[in-house]
Amino acid sequence: MTEDTGRARPRVVIIGGGFGGLTAARTLRNAPVEVTLLDRTNHHVFQPLLYQVATAQLAPSDITAPIRFLMRGQKNATVLLAEATQIEPERRVVCVDGEPGEVPYDFLIVATGARHSYFGHDDWEPLAPGLKSIGDAVEVRRRFLLAFEEAEKTDDPVERQAYQTFVIVGGGATGVELAGVMPEIAKNALRADFRRIDTRNTRVILLEGGPRLIPTFPQSLADRAKRDLEKLGVEVRLNCLVTRIEPDAVYAGDERIPTRTVFWAAGNAASPLARSLGVPLDRVGRVPVEKDLSVPGRPEVFVVGDLATLTQENGKPVPWVAQGAIQGGRRAAQNIECDLRGRPRRPFRYWDKGNMAVLGRARALAEIGRFRFTGFVAWLMWLGLHIVYLVGFRNRLSVLLQWAYAYFTYQRGVRLISDPVPRMPDETAVPGPPSVKTGP
């Protein structure tokens, strides 16, 4: 059943079905190549909306689409659900777990992205989950919702306040968006649901190690973000380094903040797959790539998205955002086509389409070229752009429906804790996710 063309066509293997990998695969749709798109999950995630899954506004299926479904019409492409464990650039194969064991390539595009970096404190990860995958988002959602349940149960006022205190580490876009939405949910959506706790007493604390929020934005918008967050009730602390995380507290410098729920939105660590490329990596494990996005000394291997690092002509690195991955994926694929047609490769130039971040309910910041927008106008722009960029007609409709519902009712539709309480021993045989307590 395999469409066998006698291996005349070069094999392009793409690792990762995120923005970079998916764009690369689609760019090659008419190229005389055989594309294999590898991912360890079956779905593409629209990462900019992950924080909305984490805060129970959208369902996981609203911001995901099966990679196989997205690629169904592309006859020169095969999708493989498998985890790439190793790249062997000398032999030009990618090793995967399970069948088929090895996937040989003529060209390789690595687009596996990044995970959070805990700056040498990997033991913090179980206490402070990050927000990179659907699994992460569901875990954050579970801890966020469960904290209110535990607060409602306890009779100890100190413990209750600790359950009603949420600490977010990292003041980039993810941290700001996550922090901005939490007070509103506590004060509006959840207020009438509880009998013993007053959800208006919820504290949301945003800790940023640097001197300002959202470093990819201009200073004026960062100041505005801080003011807007503070108006929403978020306690923003700048120049504030986390020194320790325990099950019932975070240490900001010397101060102990009692909390049962910490979320991590600071720092990136590149996917460990990069190590097998055999080239020097940067401090956080990224691959410094050539101007054409290829790996130094390996013209047939490209790295795009959060796993790559490249300095632009203005001296700044290409930012690690969705647009960087999308444009990089497209350029890498085009450079493969250049090779096939005997044309010279073209260097990657990042086109800054602007920056956006949402602040709570119906408010946002946007920077597009020389223009800056704030408040409701920026939010409408954000909304329109995200609907347009969201993959798939069904998802767009469903997301619009959920947003309209949240906007008009102040409610959150997806307040689902999938498996909060450990099951009884005689009912555990159907495997479910492990029940990890938010506290000790």
User: From the list 122, 223, 230, 282, which residue makes contact with its own copies (rule: CB under 8 A)?
Assistant: 122
Out of 8, 90, 120, 155, point to the residue binding its own copies (CB under 8 A). 155
The stretch near its own copies (CB under 8 A) out of 133-141, 305-313, 367-375, 379-387 is 133-141
| Residue 177 annotated among the catalytic residues of the structure | yes
Output 323 or 411, the one with its CB closest to its own copies: 411
Q: Which of 69, 119, 251, 389 binds its own copies (CB under 8 A)?
A: 69
Closest distance to its own copies from the beta carbon of 182 (Å) = 17
Q: Report the residue number, 62 or 292, with the smaller CB distance to its own copies.
A: 62
Q: How far is the CB of 80 from its own copies (least distance, A)?
A: 7
Rounded CA separation 232/406 (Å): 17
Task: Determine if residue 39 is left, alpha or beta; phi over 0 gives left, psi from -120 to 50 gives alpha, anything else beta.
Answer: beta
- Nearer to its own copies (CB atom), residue 272 or residue 384: 272
Rounded to 10°, the helix 173-184/219-232 angle is 20
From 150, 177, 208, 367, active-site residue? 177
Q: Is 81 in the site for its own copies (CB under 8 A)?
A: yes
The residues with which 77 forms a beta bridge, in sequence order, are 35
Does 68 contact its own copies by CB under 8 A?
A: yes
**Using rule CB under 8 A, residue 79 touches its own copies:** yes
What's the closest the beta carbon of residue 51 comes to its own copies, in angstroms? 16
Does the footprint of its own copies cover residue 97 (CB under 8 A)?
yes
Q: Does 299 bind its own copies (CB under 8 A)?
A: no
Binding of its own copies by 115 (CB under 8 A): yes
* Of residues 11 and 40, the one with the C-beta less far from its own copies: 40
Taking the least distance from each CB to its own copies, the nearer of 12 and 79 is 79
Nearest to 78 by CA among 7, 32, 10, 14: 14
| Residue 405 interacting with its own copies (CB under 8 A) | yes
Opening angle at CA 92, ends 89 and 97, nearest 5: 90
Does position 196 interact with its own copies (CB under 8 A)? The reply is yes
Closest separation in Å from C-beta 4 to its own copies: 11
Task: By CB under 8 A, tell whether 60 contacts its own copies.
Answer: yes
# binding residues, its own copies (CB under 8 A): 85
> Is residue 175 close enough to count as binding its own copies by CB under 8 A?
no
2 binds its own copies (CB under 8 A): yes
Long-range contacts of 230-235 (CB under 8 A, 24+ apart): 232/180, 232/183, 232/184, 232/359, 232/360, 233/183, 233/187, 233/204, 234/179, 234/180, 234/182, 234/183, 234/204, 234/205, 234/206, 235/203, 235/204, 235/205, 235/206
98 belongs to the binding site for its own copies (CB under 8 A)? yes
Least distance (Å) from its own copies to the CB of residue 48? Answer: 18
**Which residues are annotated as catalytic?**
177
